[in-house]
Amino acid sequence: MARSRILNQVNDESNGVAVADVPYRHRFEVYVEDELAGVAEYVDHDEQRIFYHTEIDERYSGQGLGNTLIRSALTDTRSSGRRIVPVCPFVARYLKKNDDFADIVDPVTPKAVDFVRSTLG
């Protein structure tokens, strides 16, 4: 996890789960016992963090790691002073079920989608 920052609020040695922000890859990563189990990818644009893709390895599905990953990523986004744009369907579903972040969510706009596309090439 070189050049990453472990997010303390989820680093739980009892179950071996840790979430890290990896800014140079523009993603948050969730680990189980030092093995990469999933990612939440984003791009930053002005004061927004646009989440566009989340994936959990099928070996870890059904364990709640996606929710742990997204909750940590959104908490970190709030701490950084950015707003959330949920282009990713997983992030959007999480936000519908959990209103803890409603005050910092911006709607998905064509401009945000175009920015993601232009950034990714």
Per-residue pLDDT of the chain (121 residues; tens, 9 = 90+): 445 565 544 555 557 888 999 999 999 999 998 899 999 999 999 999 999 999 999 999 999 999 999 999 999 999 999 999 999 999 999 999 999 999 999 999 999 999 999 999 8
Query: Taking the alpha carbons of 68, 57, 50, 24 in that order, is the dihedral positive or negative?
Result: positive
Domains contained in the chain, number: 1
**CATH code for the domain in which residue 85 is found:** 3.40.630.30
> Which residue range is the domain that position 56 belongs to?
5-120
Rounded to an integer, what distance in angstroms lies between the CA atom of residue 79 and that of residue 87? 20
